[in-house]
Amino acid sequence: MVELETLNMFGGIYIFLSFDDEPSPIRYSQFSHISGSIPSSIGRLHKLKWLSLGQNEFTGSIPSTFGNLKALNHLNLEQNYFTGKVRPIWDLTQLEFLNLRSNFFDGSIHSSIRFLNWVKQILEVPCRPALVA
């Protein structure tokens, strides 16, 4: 397992680009001052179970390739600068924890995310007014 917690890594996120198709799980990468966008190549981390990128300086939208992370059971993207629409992620059937709060998403959150019976804990997404439909 790769531990990345509190590395104070300034700059972009390149670590995902260096993994092959069978990477070690990334446990943490929060409080690391990582900026830039998440590369779409993150979708190649098929065995990734825990991804915590909260409290960084990520920008842009969440890559659609997150839908390829079928083993993911914990996703924390809180307190970044993500924009765009929150895509439906109901195909992530192993997901037990989802935190998207304090970002800059547009539109409404698809009802399939808010009422997933297989997600044990979903933190509300207080981003912009009228975000939750």
Please write the tens of the pLDDT for every residue from 25-73.
Answer: 555 555 667 889 998 888 888 888 888 888 899 999 999 898 899 898 8
How does the average pLDDT of the chain come out, rounded? 71
Please give the helix or strand (H or E) that residue 112 lies within, else none.
helix 111-114
Domain tally, the chain = 1
124 belongs to a structural domain: yes
125 belongs to a structural domain: yes
The span from the CA of 52 to the CA of 22, in Å, is: 19
Given a contact cutoff of 8 angstroms between Cβ atoms, the answer to whether 99 and 73 are in contact is no
3 belongs to a structural domain: no
42 belongs to a structural domain: no
Full residue range of the structural domain in which residue 120 is found: 107-133
122 belongs to a structural domain: yes
126 belongs to a structural domain: yes
- Predicted TM-score (pTM) above 0.75: no
Residue 29: Cβ-neighbour burial (10 angstroms; 0-12, 13-18, 19+): buried
Query: How is the chain split among helix, strand and coil, in percent rounded to 5?
Result: 15, 25, 65
48 belongs to a structural domain: no
84-105 per-position pLDDT tens digit: 887 766 578 888 888 888 999 8
32 belongs to a structural domain: no
